Structure 1
Amino acid sequence: MLKWTLILLLLSWRAAAFEPPVKVLVYGDDAYPPYSYVENGIARGIYSDILRRVFEDMPGYKIKIVPIPWKRGLKMLKSGRGFALFPPYYYADKRLYISPYSKPILNEEVVVFCNNDSVQDRPLNNWPSDYLGLTIGVNEAFALGGNEFWNAVKAGKITISEAKGSRPSLLKLYEKKIDCYMNDRLSILWEIKRMTTEGLLPEDWKLTLGAVVSAEQGYLGFTTIQPEKYPYKDDFVETFNSILTQLKEKGEIEVIVKAYLEKDL
């Protein structure tokens, strides 16, 4: 009897040991450089690099990062067709279909850059009261700016102009179709450098840095819809958070960010 028990235990252990990894699709914003974007069909950017490093230490899963338009990615989570998306900011009161959020991956600073002519002799320190009457460019489906800003938009005191990513918004800013553009500071500067290198913007183009709107953090967000499709969700989230914390403590996340920002464009 003992012999058969040991055999059964051994077979069970072998079955568990050779159980194939769970296949998981994780979606990422395809138009948010340098943090997350697509290049030749492949997800690139700081977040993509960090997540790939985390996923290396998750052998129970075979994870593929799929770049996708941000608005479509949110719809995927809202319908339950998508499991996880990066890098949403933490808006638990606005996106009830996202929960939980992972531990924060990176800190970002949201700012406003403006055309010099549009804001000449205008104070710019107080957001959004100093920007009443202006047209502000924002990324499509991004919920940046704060409640006071969006209340001013609803009241018609500020006009917004949505675009898919930084590049079309910066072209609007250069062509003076909008007065200011709100987004992450690094993302704006990165795209300006790329567009200048490509000859789309003049090297002597000058902008005025306005208010710091907020300090945000990027996360990996998980859908709350159709939970039966993702029975591994709790384990995935717990494992992801644990490994991310370990990599931060070792300084690996900082190394990834630093190395990425030092790349020549």
Structure 2
Amino acid sequence: MEISTKAKITLVSVLYLNAAHLMASEDAIPVTIYSDDAYPPYSYQIQGNAVGIYPDILRHVFDQMPQYRVTIKPVPFVRGLRLLETGKGFALFPPYYYENRRPYIHPYSKPILKEQVVVYCHNEVMLKNVAELAKWPEDFYGLTIGINAAFSIGGDAFWMAAHDGKLKIEEAKDNQENILKMRAKRVDCYINDRLSIAWEIKRLKDVGRIDHSDSFQLAAFVSEEYGYLGYSAYAERFPFKEPFTSQFDQILQRLQGSGIVEQVISSYVD
């Protein structure tokens, strides 16, 4: 991934904060929090360091939790889920709230950010409702929908339609791979957060991976979802879990009322 000037500034800030945390009290409890490494601009990695909207917000929270020495470690999202499922990992961000599908995540933090899940398609896809956004998922029967690996977005009707063979779901590791597959018409459409898709399309154009003349159609609005810090339901290895989760939520809510969250978002999208 080519590193922009803004990303370089962000990386320097991250390295500085990491150094500051290393100088924290030796009595602080070490805690590793895992982050999605391929979900820009929300959560991704540059040279092994977690960057993005979520990492920046959470660092503001962790800075006010001095009794913990928190390290954010970016990993593929599917691996992060597996770490929670096996009880080897303490927490991961930013999963959506799917309590029935992921019983190994408990509890979830207070909601961190609201995201808008949408579907983009390449321009040769002919949808029934040309003048307005298509009906999801019925208007997409017969199509192949790209999705990020381990993501559970789309709703029950979408997954049931795939199970019944009415449409096909094809996983790829991240936004970039899915968008390039859509451009090459290897998938018809791609489902993900609206800002995340738009951000990656712009980045791919800026670095010359796709032409500036290439365009994709916003085809459907699916849902609004919130990103969370999800904790492993298996707390045996983490005796600090209960006080950590309670304090995290209190500080997060205070920050959300202070305007800091909006400042972080603006630094990535303006």
TM-score by length of 1: 0.90
Give runs of aligned pairs for residues 126-145 of structure 1, distance below 5 A.
Answer: 126-145=135-154
Matching residue of 1:248: 256
For 1:5-53, what per-residue CA distance to the aligned partner results, in whole angstroms no more than 9, with x for missing partners? Answer: xxxxxxxxxxxxx880100000000000000001011001000000111
Question: What residue in structure 2 maps to residue 38 of structure 1?
Answer: 45
Aligned-partner residue type, residue 106 of structure 2 = S
Is it true that 1:234 corresponds to 2:234 in the alignment?
Answer: no
**Larger-Rg structure:** 1
Q: Which amino acid aligns with 1:159?
A: K
RMSD (Å), alpha carbons: 1.2
SS, match of residue 228 in structure 1? coil
- Indicate conservation of the 8 Å contact 2:35/2:50, yes or no: yes
One-letter amino acid of the structure 2 residue matched with residue 35 of structure 1? Y
Query: Which residue of 102, 112, 129 corresponds with 1:105?
Result: 112
Alignment correspondent of 2:158 = 149
| Alignment-mate amino acid for residue 249 of structure 1 | G
Shift of 1:229: 0.7
SS at match of 2:65: coil
Q: For 1:49, which of 49, 56, 60 is the aligned residue?
A: 56
Partner of 1:162: 171
1:125 CA displacement? 2.2
In the TM superposition, residue 119 of structure 1 has moved relative to its aligned partner by 2.1
The total of aligned residue pairs comes to 244
| Greater shift in the superposed pair: 83-92 or 247-256 | 247-256
- Displacement of 1:145 in angstroms is 0.4
Matching residue within 14, 18, 30 for 1:23? 30
Q: How many Å apart are 1:261 and its aligned residue? A: 1.7
The structure 1 segments of at least 4 consecutive aligned residues displaced by more than 6 Å after TM superposition are none
Structure 1 residue 214: Cα displacement: 0.6
> Once structures 1 and 2 are overlaid, which stretch shifts more, 189-198 or 253-262?
253-262
CA apart distance, 1:246: 0.5
- Structure 1 residue 190 and structure 2 residue 199: aligned? yes
Decide whether the 8 Å contact of 2:114 with 2:224 is kept in 1.
yes
8 Å CA contact 2:128–2:139 kept in 1: the answer is no
Residue equivalent to 1:96: 103
User: Which letter does structure 2 place at the counterpart of 1:184?
Assistant: D
Measured in 1, the distance between the counterparts of 2:39 and 2:111 equals 17
State the match for 1:204 in structure 2. 213
CA distance in 2, matches of 1:206, 1:86: 31
Partner AA of 1:259 in structure 2: S
Q: Kindly, what percent of the aligned residue pairs are identical?
A: 50
Unaligned runs of 5+ in 1: 1-17
C-alpha separation between the residues in 1 aligned to 2:36 and 2:127? 34
Do structure 1's residue 259 and structure 2's residue 267 form an aligned pair?
A: yes
Deviations along 1:102-122, one digit per CA (max 9) or x if unpaired, are: 000000000000111112555
**AA partner of residue 86 (structure 2):** S
